[in-house]
Structure 1
Amino acid sequence: MVDQSRLWDAHAAAEYDTPGEGMFAPEVLGPTVERLQELSAGGPVLELAIGTGRVAIPLREAGVEVTGIELSEAMIARLREKADALEIPVVMGDMTTASAGEGYSLAYLVFNTIGNVLTQQQQVECFRNAARHLAPGGCFVIELSVPDLRSLTPGTGGTLEHSEPGYLLVDTYDTLAQILVSHHVHFDPPVDGSRQASIGRTPQRYVWPSELDLMAQLTGFTLESRWADWDRSEFTAESRSHVSVYRLSTLDR
């Protein structure tokens, strides 16, 4: 089993933030924060795997009370450079078991983070832990990509996802274990006619939407909404990602 706290080390934390670009781009982050603010309904919220505060900081700036759970000490340290513990409290621990109290109106997991949990049983425990934190009737929101197994050529186990000078991204699939490993290959500038390459690997367990819905049912949630993106666009068979909103039962747990 991969030690996720080692995977998200000081080097990863230092390179995680890309202000104004990628997942930090305003057109990506703005709708995310807007939807989460609406779903919080004025109550406190919990971010599982809060990371460096990409979502939590602008959400707090929008007036939402945010608490986080995070396994990586290095990621928390990066967050603390931008927001102190009074602004955004964080409990260090595993998002499947760590406790940050009760009574939240919303819990959320964004940008494929539930995939960092590499077994089905532990992913179910993420739902259970979210339920323990929520008030009855609270929401659990998950943003997740849709497995693109149709792109696999018969007889191969991988795809080239991105290529640019100095960088390649190759995804490989174990379709029995539902494990996708992203291989990030960086090439240094040529020296004496040769180039040195470094490789970083990030494993994820991919989850089909229907499997995610079953996990929700097992832990007291029902699917309330599913969109293709935070802009509430329609989720279709061609959608490459989804934002799923689950509602916790109002019955005593």
Structure 2
Amino acid sequence: MTSSDLWDADTAARYDRARAAMFAPEVLDPTVDFLAEFAGEGRALELAIGTGRVGIPLLERGVDVTGIELSAPMVEQLHRKRPDLPVSVGDMATTRVEGRYALVYLVFNTIGNLCTQDEQVACFANAASHLQPGGRFVVEVGVPALRQLPPGQVAVPFDVSEGHVGLDTYDPVTQRATSHHYTRQADGSYRYCPHHYRYVWPSELDLMARLAGMRLERRTADWSGAEFTAESQSHVSVWRRD
């Protein structure tokens, strides 16, 4: 077991509704297009596949998709939609599945679910071990927002809306962070849900990839291919196995 937060049955049942914006075609279609291009005629392995937000439409695109997911309740939600998509329950740093893949991928900041550097390094090694020669590992993750922190401030808001307030708190020494979610309920009360993660810099990820025998091939600011710059708030990176 890793240091990751474990999504329980209640969280899994609410996940798709709570993340409805991530299912919107303008968000999801560029993601699936990008991954389908890199999978080609080969197989794809999604680490932390969750309820299948990306894996299911990629499967429907004709790609042979397999998943690894830590939370059994999340897998149950996925299999209610597509029982034919194979998923192994286990952590993404050490769990092995059979076969070699043209593509292994991690989306929506989930590399940060591994809350230690050693676990993140192990995840890269695990991804590389599943890749066929020339295969790619793709990661989508945010750029830490530490530049927005004035001296003495520890929190950065990322969403302030009628139904939700979200802010991140950072520990620059350990690179541990917490996303604090306050979601308005129907009765006017608020549900508090924290999510713990380890933020990681692009250059740090590149070194993890090199340790695993992979080299950076491409880095963009998003799935549509926008240029990655010093002002980018996220990146989609592709490493190729030697």
- Fold match (TM-score > 0.5): yes
Show the counterpart of 2:50: 51
- 1:11 CA drift (Å): 1.5
Which consecutive segments of 4 or more residues in structure 1 shift more than 2 A?
1-5, 18-21, 164-167, 186-190, 195-198
Q: Secondary structure at the match of 1:4?
A: coil
Q: Which TM-score applies when normalising by structure 1?
A: 0.91
Pick closer, same or farther for the CA change 1:239–1:18 going to 2, 3 Å.
same
> Does residue 1:165 correspond to 2:162, yes or no?
yes
Greater CA deviation, 167-176 or 10-19? 10-19
User: Residue by residue, what CA displacement relative to the aligned partner does 1:58-110 show, whole Å, maximum 9, x if unpaired?
Assistant: 000000000000110110000011001xx311111111111111311110000
1:88 to 72, 85, 89: 85
1:4: how far off?
A: 2.4
Q: Distance in 2 between the 1:35 and 1:219 partners?
A: 23
1:206: which partner in 2?
Answer: 199
Amino acid of the residue matched to residue 106 of structure 2?
Answer: L
Residue of structure 2 equivalent to 1:245: 238
Aligned 8 A contact 1:102 1:132 in 2: no
Three-state SS of the structure 1 residue aligned to 2:56 is helix
Q: Which of 1 and 2 has greater Rg?
A: 1
> Aligned-pair distance for 1:164?
2.3
- How many residues align? The count is 241
Is 1:178 aligned with 2:171?
no
Identity %: 53
CA distance in structure 2 between the partners assigned to 1:211 and 1:248 by the alignment? 17
Q: Which residue of 1 aligns with 2:208?
A: 215
Cα distance in 2 for partners of 1:243, 1:160 equals 22
- Between the aligned partners of 2:229 and 2:106, the Cα distance in structure 1 is 21
1:235 aligns with 228
Alignment of 1:11-50 (within 5 A): 11-18=10-17, 21-50=20-49
Match of 1:117 among 114, 119, 125: 114
1:24-75 deviation digits (Å, cap 9, x = unpaired): 1101110110110110121011000110000010000000000000110110
